C-alpha cells in the first residue's frame, strides 16, 4: 500500500488554509520585552501547554493566554520578560522546550510499548 | 495540623480533597515561587523523573500511567487524542431513494457516526468543495437495501427477523465501491465499517433505501464522528492518608466507605483489627468517608499531582497504542508550525538583551 505524503498541516483545522497564523501586538515599539502574540487556529491545547513551558523560563516575569472570543478561533498569548531576552525569544524558547518534552514523551512511550511482556495484553 | 513547611511540601505534591472543595489544584512549580529553588525547565531533570508504565493494551483500549509531567501537557495530549487525530468518516450522502420511516438527514447523521476502517494516513484532506473528490481523498460506499416478506417463514412466525428479509439495515450492508487505484492500494485491507452489526434503521416490506455515501478525512474538533477515540481520559492517582489509627469496628465501617479492595482490615501488632490502605488505585474518590464525623481528622484524601492514569478507548479504526504517538506528533507539529511562523514574522531578529 502506497502512503500519501501528508499534506502540510493546517495546524488542526482543515478549512482555514492560507489564513494568517501569527501576529504580534506590541505593547511599546521601543520595548520588545513585552508583547501579545496572536496565534490563529489554536486553542487551550497549545495555549495552556505553551504557557506552562514559557512560565518555566526564569527570564519570564509573566505569561498568560486567553481566548478573546469563543467564536473566533485564536488565542492571545501575553509574555513579559525581565529584559534579558525579548518576549519573542521567550516564546521561541518555550516552543523548543515543548518540542523536546513531547519528543521525550513519545520516545518513552514507544519504548515501553515495544517492551512486550512488561504489560498485560488482552484480546478483547 | 502539620507544620507549615511540611504542609507547603504536601501542597506542591498533592491535590487535597475536602468534603466541599478541592484544595490548591493548580501547579506552583515555576521559577521564583520558592526561595532557593531552581524550578527552571531542565530537560535532563525531566528525563530523569519522567516515567511511563503501561497497565494493559487490549484490542480497542489501553491504560497507562504517565508520571512526572504537568497537567497542562497531559491535557494537551488528551485534547489532541479526542479532537485532532484525523480519521475517515462519511461526510456526504447522496440519497437516490429512501422510503423508510427515517428521514434522509437523520439517516445521513447516523451513517456519519459509523467508524470506517481505513488508514487515514493513506488519504489526503479534502478542503472545501473547490477540491474535487478523487480516489486520494474520498471513499465511496453504496447502501442498497430493500425489505421484503420472507415467503419461507413458518406459518406461526412472530419475530420480524423471521417474517421479513432485511428488516434491519446494518452497517455490514454498506458495500465499498473502490475508486481509481484504491482496489490495488487497499487489496489486503479493504475499506469497511469497523463493526458489522451496527443498526442503522429498521424497515418493513416494501420499504427501501438506495444511497451513495462519500467518506472524507477530518478531525474530531469539527465533528465528533471523526474522533478516533470513544474517549480518552486521565485521572490522578489517589493517595489516602490515615492520620490516626482506625481500629476495631470503626475499621470495618471505614473500609465500607471505599470500593472493595482499597482498604484492608487486619490485626495490628496488638491484635486489634486496624484499617490500612492497600490499593488506592482502585479508589473512585467518592469522598464518602468525609461524611462521617467519626473519621474527621483521621483521614486525608489526596491525589498525586503529577501521576496521570491515562485511559484510551479507540473506536477500532486505529490501534490504541498507535493513537498516543500520533497525538504526540501532532503537538510537535503544532509547535514547529508556530516556530516557523514566529521566525517568518521577523520578531526574533530585533533582539534586545544579551543574545
Whether residue A123 is contained in a domain is answered as: no
- Rounded distance between C-alpha atoms, residue A56 and residue B70, angstroms: 11
A3 pLDDT above the threshold of 60: no
Chain A positions in Cβ-Cβ contact with residue B84 (cut-off 8 Å):
12, 45
Looking at residues A81-99, what average pLDDT do you find? 96
Instruction: Please answer yes or no on whether B353 and A50 come within 8 Å at the CB atom.
Output: no
Instruction: Please answer yes or no on whether B58 and A85 come within 8 Å at the CB atom.
Output: no
Q: What average pLDDT is seen over chain A?
A: 86
Whether residue A65 is contained in a domain is answered as: yes
pLDDT of residue A10: 47
Looking at residues A45-60, what average pLDDT do you find? 96
Instruction: Please answer yes or no on whether A109 and B80 come within 8 Å at the CB atom.
Output: no
pLDDT of residue B11: 86
Q: Does A28 touch chain B (CB under 8 A)?
A: no
The predicted-structure confidence for B97-123, as pLDDT tens digits, reads as follows 999 999 999 999 999 999 999 999 999
Whether residue A84 is contained in a domain is answered as: yes
pLDDT of residue A18: 60
Q: What percent of chain A shows pLDDT beyond 70? A: 85
pLDDT of residue A27: 82
Q: What angle do CA A100, B326, B343 make, to 5 degrees?
A: 45
Whether residue A99 is contained in a domain is answered as: yes
pLDDT of residue B324: 97
Chain A positions in Cβ-Cβ contact with residue B333 (cut-off 8 Å):
9, 11
E strand or H helix at A103, and its extent?
helix A87-114
Looking at residues A66-73, what average pLDDT do you find? 92
Q: Which of A26, A33, A44, A98 to mutate to test the interface with B (most CBs of B within 10 A)?
A: A98
pLDDT of residue A48: 96
* Closest residue in chain B to residue A121, using alpha carbons only: B57
Q: What percent of chain A shows pLDDT beyond 90? A: 67
Instruction: Please answer yes or no on whether B330 and A12 come within 8 Å at the CB atom.
Output: yes
Which one of A4, A88, A101 has the shortest CB-CB distance to B124?
Answer: A4
pLDDT of residue A1: 43
Determine the distance in angstroms separating the CA of A105 from the nearest CA of chain B, rounded to an integer.
Answer: 8
Q: Which of B33, B48, B53, B76 to mutate to test the interface with A (most CBs of A within 10 A)?
A: B76
Chain A positions in Cβ-Cβ contact with residue B352 (cut-off 8 Å):
31-33, 83, 85-86
- Rounded distance between C-alpha atoms, residue A85 and residue A89, angstroms: 6
Which one of A31, A49, A83 has the shortest CB-CB distance to B72?
Answer: A49
Q: Does B194 touch chain A (CB under 8 A)?
A: no
Whether residue A122 is contained in a domain is answered as: no
Q: Does A41 touch chain B (CB under 8 A)?
A: no
Chain B positions in Cβ-Cβ contact with residue A108 (cut-off 8 Å):
50-52
Which one of B189, B217, B342 has the shortest CB-CB distance to A91?
Answer: B342
The predicted-structure confidence for B248-307, as pLDDT tens digits, reads as follows 999 999 999 999 999 999 999 999 999 999 999 999 999 999 999 999 899 999 999 999
Q: How many domains does chain A have?
A: 1
Instruction: Please answer yes or no on whether B335 and A46 come within 8 Å at the CB atom.
Output: yes
- Identify the domain containing residue A78 by its residue range: 14-116
Whether residue A7 is contained in a domain is answered as: no
Q: Which of A29, A102, A103, A120 to mutate to test the interface with B (most CBs of B within 10 A)?
A: A102
Low-confidence ranges of chain B (pLDDT < 50): 352-355
> Residue B91 in contact with residue B148, Cβ under 8 Å?
no
Domain with A48 in it: what CATH number? 3.30.1360.10
* Closest residue in chain A to residue B333, using alpha carbons only: A11
Which one of A49, A86, A101 has the shortest CB-CB distance to B353?
Answer: A86
What band does A15 get if pLDDT is binned at 50, 70 and 90? very low
Amino acid at each position: 500500500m502506497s502512503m500519501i505524503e501528508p499534506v502540510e498541516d493546517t495546524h488542526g483545522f482543515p478549512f482555514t488554509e492560507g489564513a494568517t497564523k501569527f501576529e504580534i501586538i506590541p505593547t511599546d515599539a521601543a520595548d520588545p520585552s513585552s508583547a501579545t502574540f496572536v496565534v490563529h487556529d489554536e486553542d487551550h491545547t497549545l495555549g495552556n501547554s505553551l504557557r506552562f513551558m514559557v512560565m518555566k523560563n526564569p527570564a519570564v516575569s509573566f505569561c498568560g493566554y486567553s481566548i478573546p472570543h469563543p467564536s473566533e478561533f485564536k488565542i492571545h498569548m501575553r509574555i513579559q520578560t525581565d529584559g534579558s531576552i525579548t518576549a519573542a525569544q521567550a516564546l521561541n524558547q518555550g516552543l523548543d522546550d515543548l518540542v523536546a518534552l513531547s519528543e521525550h514523551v513519545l520516545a518513552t512511550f514507544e519504548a515501553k510499548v515495544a517492551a512486550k511482556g512488561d504489560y498485560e495484553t488482552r484480546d478483547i | 495540623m502539620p507544620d507549615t513547611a511540611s504542609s507547603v511540601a504536601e501542597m506542591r505534591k498533592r491535590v487535597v480533597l475536602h468534603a466541599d472543595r478541592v484544595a490548591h489544584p493548580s501547579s506552583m512549580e515555576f521559577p521564583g515561587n520558592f526561595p532557593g529553588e531552581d524550578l527552571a525547565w531542565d530537560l535532563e531533570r525531566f528525563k530523569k523523573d519522567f516515567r511511563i508504565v503501561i497497565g494493559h493494551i487490549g484490542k480497542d483500549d489501553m491504560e497507562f500511567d504517565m508520571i512526572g509531567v504537568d497537567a497542562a501537557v497531559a491535557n494537551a495530549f488528551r485534547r489532541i487524542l479526542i479532537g485532532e487525530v484525523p480519521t475517515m468518516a462519511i461526510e456526504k450522502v447522496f440519497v437516490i431513494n429512501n422510503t423508510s420511516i427515517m428521514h434522509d438527514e437523520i439517516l445521513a447523521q447516523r451513517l456519519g457516526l459509523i467508524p470506517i476502517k481505513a488508514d487515514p494516513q493513506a488519504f489526503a484532506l479534502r478542503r472545501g468543495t473547490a477540491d474535487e473528490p478523487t480516489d486520494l481523498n474520498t471513499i465511496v460506499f453504496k447502501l442498497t437495501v430493500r425489505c421484503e416478506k420472507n415467503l419461507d417463514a413458518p406459518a406461526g412466525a412472530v419475530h420480524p427477523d423471521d417474517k421479513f428479509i432485511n428488516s434491519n439495515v446494518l452497517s455490514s450492508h454498506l458495500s465499498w465501491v473502490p475508486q481509481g487505484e484504491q482496489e490495488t492500494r487497499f487489496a489486503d485491507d479493504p475499506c469497511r465499517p469497523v463493526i458489522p452489526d451496527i443498526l442503522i434503521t429498521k424497515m418493513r416490506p416494501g420499504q427501501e433505501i438506495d444511497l451513495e455515501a462519500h467518506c472524507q478525512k477530518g478531525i474530531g474538533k469539527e465533528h465528533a464522528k471523526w474522533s478516533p477515540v470513544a474517549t480518552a481520559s486521565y485521572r490522578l492517582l489517589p493517595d489516602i492518608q490515615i492520620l490516626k489509627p482506625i481500629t476495631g469496628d470503626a475499621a470495618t465501617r471505614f473500609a465500607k466507605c471505599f470500593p472493595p479492595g482499597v482498604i484492608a482490615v487486619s490485626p495490628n501488632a496488638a491484635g486489634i483489627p486496624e484499617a490500612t490502605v492497600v490499593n488506592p488505585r482502585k479508589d473512585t474518590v467518592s469522598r464518602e468517608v468525609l461524611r462521617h464525623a467519626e473519621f474527621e481528622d483521621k483521614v486525608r484524601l489526596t491525589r498525586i499531582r503529577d501521576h496521570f492514569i491515562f485511559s484510551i478507548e479507540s473506536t477500532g479504526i486505529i490501534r490504541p497504542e498507535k493513537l498516543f504517538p500520533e497525538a504526540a506528533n501532532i503537538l510537535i507539529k503544532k509547535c514547529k508550525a508556530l516556530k516557523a511562523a514566529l521566525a517568518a514574522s521577523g520578531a526574533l531578529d530585533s533582539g534586545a538583551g544579551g543574545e
